[in-house]
A = this chain, B = another copy of it.
């Protein structure tokens, strides 16, 4: 089955202790779409300016990503610049230039409204709503978010939680959303807000899934060299939904595997700047890393 992915499409200027790169292809939807493309056909919904490099459009196309829903508007592409601290766990934003993203309103081509698997990658909850308003009968909707929306658009986000099947967020966001310092009981509170699946990302410490079947604890892939974690969370959820859409059988039976596949793609993402490494791998490399992960947790 194919996947619809809506989110930001941006140019990222990244500074890390390992080096710097200006104006890489970035944004939540870019990372998620490339990650999902290893498993399923992807329809991308987003907006870029008329300065958007042709090379990046070609990159999407090489991954078979359908760009019918990518608006190209007069003006500048969303540009983000950020700098990571030595341990790469913290980063600060140096610059945010919204450009054409400021007036973005996702418009789904008719052909995309029947897609069954939907990823609302990290953008404003009001835009995530706008996508769902246009979908006919999605089978599985997963949404990502970030602390910014918890702070400035909490009501929109709370309304969204009642419309989705799964929420992905990191542990500090789970605490922020619920005011509960224990992430395990925080997740119980998130279930009561709507989503029947809650996936908590913990960076180098892996992730976990909570659902009516209980918990699933997923490791992170141990990386000796972290080059740039930008987009790792987007790659994780992109790989997850892409794998899920590729599998027969009930969602519940495939979700654990999907999290492990997302974990594997995210680990590659961290090994290069922007999408450098992710675009250099193939399905076989991902499968090998999943096998390694299996061996790493077996006892």
Q: Which residues of A contact B (CB under 8 A)?
A: 86-87, 181-185, 188, 202, 204-206, 208, 214-219, 222-226, 256-257, 259-260, 294-299
- Of the residues B181, B206, B214, B219, contact of A86 by C-beta under 8 Å: B181
Check A206–B205 contact: CB distance below 8 A.
yes
- Of the residues B185, B216, B259, B298, contact of A296 by C-beta under 8 Å: B216
The distance in angstroms between the C-alpha atoms of A226 and B181, with both chains bound, is 11
Q: Specify which chain B residues have a CB less than 8 angstroms from the CB of A224 in the assembled complex.
A: 182, 184-185, 188
- Of the residues B188, B205, B223, B299, contact of A202 by C-beta under 8 Å: B205
Q: Specify which chain B residues have a CB less than 8 angstroms from the CB of A294 in the assembled complex.
A: 299
Q: Specify which chain B residues have a CB less than 8 angstroms from the CB of A295 in the assembled complex.
A: 214
Closest to A188 in B: B224
Q: Specify which chain B residues have a CB less than 8 angstroms from the CB of A214 in the assembled complex.
A: 295-296
* 23 A-B interface contacts by CB (under 8 A): A86-B181, A182-B223, A182-B224, A183-B204, A184-B223, A185-B224, A185-B225, A188-B224, A205-B205, A208-B222, A214-B295, A215-B296, A216-B296, A216-B297, A217-B219, A217-B222, A217-B297, A218-B299, A219-B297, A256-B298, A256-B299, A260-B299, A297-B297
Check B226–A222 contact: CB distance below 8 A.
no
Check A215–B222 contact: CB distance below 8 A.
yes
Q: Give 15 new A-B contacts, CB below 8 A, not counting A86-B181, A216-B297, A217-B219.
A: A87-B181, A182-B225, A182-B226, A184-B223, A185-B224, A202-B205, A205-B205, A215-B222, A216-B296, A216-B299, A217-B297, A218-B297, A256-B298, A256-B299, A259-B299
Closest to A89 in B: B181
Q: In angstroms, how far is the closest chain B Cβ from the Cβ of A229?
A: 12
The distance in angstroms between the C-alpha atoms of A142 and B218, with both chains bound, is 28
Q: In angstroms, how far is the closest chain B Cβ from the Cβ of A288?
A: 14
Closest to A257 in B: B299
